[in-house]
Amino acid sequence: MNTQTSCRVPIPNFPDPIIDAPLAATPARQVAVFAGGCFWCVEAVFAELQGVESVRSGYAGGTAETANYKAVCSGQTDHAEAIEIIYDASKITYGQLLKIHFSIAHDPTTLNRQGNDVGRQYRSSIFYANEEQRRIAESYIRQMNEAGIFDAAIVTTLEPMEKFFMAEAYHQNYAALNPGQPYIAYVARPKVEKLRSYFKDRLKK
């Protein structure tokens, strides 16, 4: 299984977004929703970040009628496996979350695929909650493409966040609760180890 992104720029030199929201002056709870392959693996990365209060695995992009694991795994719904991040905007910015998503959590250059996981439900997507999030994400994608950060063009879609549907209970915090599961060991753990290696200053104490 592929656990690496196609980034050709070393992680330590991965750029910060030129356009970003400033840190809030006081604690401010905000929400970000990202999709990048299996939600177990993406959730495991963001759960370790300072400023992140909670991460939930779920489904975004489709309707309530198809927001269940069996339907989404069929690849016939509009849903993507996604994560909902609740974060304190006085400790981490939306752009910094995007940086982790693109540099660590998934490969944004593979269309409807992450490693051996194939299907539209595994697409790379940013589900923006407002115009500011859309503007920051669009600018960052353009910035990375123009700088040739990856070996191929970024295929991440920008989709309006209409409704996030929480996944079944057994999916929540799956990587932490099942460290010996082969998929977690081969796909999720290397991403978490990369985060711990390159973003030590961003981790929860």
Mapping DSSP onto H, E and C, the string for the chain reads CCCCCCECCCHHHCCCCCCCCCCCCCCCEEEEEEEECCHHHHHHHHCCECCEEEEEEEEECCCHHHCCHHHHHCCCCCCEEEEEEEEECCCCCHHHHHHHHHHHHCCCCCCCEECCEECHHHCEEEEECCHHHHHHHHHHHHHHHHHCCECCCCCCEEEECCCEEECCHHHCCHHHHCCCCHHHHHHHHHHHHHHHHHCHHHECC
Pick the catalytic residue from 7, 38, 41, 73. Answer: 38
Residue 7 annotated as catalytic: no
**Which sequence positions are flagged as catalytic?**
38
